Amino acid sequence: MESGAIFTGLRPNIIPHHHHQLCPSRSTIKLLPPLYSGKRHFYKLSKQLHFACFSDNSGKNVDTLQVASPSSNVVPELADIDWDNLGFEFMSTDYMYMMKCSQGENFSKGELQRFGNIQLSPSAGILNYGQGLFEGLKAYRKYDGNILLFRPEENALRLRMGAERMCMPSPTVEQFVEAVKETVLANERWIPPLGKGSLYIRPLLMGSGAVLGLAPAPEYTFLIYVSPVGNYFKEGLAPIHLIVETEMHRATPGGTGGVKTIGNYAGVLKAQSAAKAKGFSDVLYLDSVHKRYLEEVSSCNVFVVKDNVIATPSIKGTILPGITRKSIIDVAVSQGYQVEERFVAVDELLDADEVFCTGTAVVISPVGSITYLGKR
């Protein structure tokens, strides 16, 4: 899209429910002009729903959700929580989104549901064989009350890439973005005030069908829930402290380190827990072959700065292609920095001017110290 093209409106699909039906709305997505390139970065959600009406087959209103109104400027009352002390912890909200399909078919219609527990067979593919992916993105409240999503189509594309690797069907980019938008608007009162945090959005794609032998599940569920969050690290915006892990590894060549499959994260818990017990913020992992090149931190990418050069480990199948990472590279190039995606040796940390981490959860976190082989 050309950088001068602005404010394209999209009309959402009406979401059917097997018991209740979501009334038609005039809700739209608007696209903000890019700040520094011809690529899309922010979606602005125009709050043009007054009420989303749920009615049963008799036509009686079962529930109403006030989202917003452009004519009356009605803003839903914020949830009654301590916005000044938000951490990065789960908090249940009002609604979640769910969509299902069978193996070999395509996702079609989804629905908003009250947030709550879901039912799974003990033999579900996700429980027995870890056939699942997740994504993470955020919604922000602007100074004028509008809501922004940051590059949601990139999350959709990454989910589709991961689904192919994990033998799962996946929603289209349009379905993904629409589902995210519907879920955010349904939970608008949980979006923190400006400067207090953001609404973390967690899409899940999982093999929900029952399977006993090792095989792709017969049924799949796409689900989105949200939670208001503050800073990921307890340090907030203060520099974090990392330790380089030399024995355990996050991923191996030919594995699934390059996609956001759920199994990638359980494997880092032991090293991360040990590091936190020693007072470190997180763990920086090395490659599993040479054991001397940086890969990433437990849940975020890493950048090393020296003079006018910003280096970051190249995407080669063991490192997650972070969307914040990609965006930082775009920004850095536009600001005149030389960006190098390559093998970055751990020894380069000793001579670096600056190190920082990027990710949806951590945003941009400065690194204050790195401990390697006992040397800080």
Q: What are phi and psi of 214, to 5 degrees?
A: -70, 105
Whole-number Cα distances in Å, 203 to 62, 191, 248: 27, 17, 28
Whole-number Å distance between alpha carbons of 280 and 274: 9
Q: Is 260 a catalytic residue?
A: yes
Say whether 341 sits in a helix, a strand or coil.
strand
User: Could you tell me how many residues make up the chain?
Assistant: 376
Q: Contact 196/86 with Cβ under 8 angstroms? A: yes
Q: What is the DSSP string of 30-83?
A: EEPPPSSSSS--EEEEE---SEEEEE-TTS-EEEEEE--BTTTTB-PPPPSS-G
Whole-number Å distance between alpha carbons of 256 and 251: 7
Q: Which is it for the CA torsion 85, 273, 158, 126, positive or negative? A: negative
Whole-number Å distance between alpha carbons of 228 and 193: 10
Whole-number Å distance between alpha carbons of 55 and 12: 19
- Active-site choice (47, 138, 181, 260): 260
Whole-number Å distance between alpha carbons of 271 and 243: 10
Q: What is the DSSP letter of 329?
A: H
User: Residue 280 carries which side chain, given as an amino acid letter?
Assistant: F
Active site residues: 260
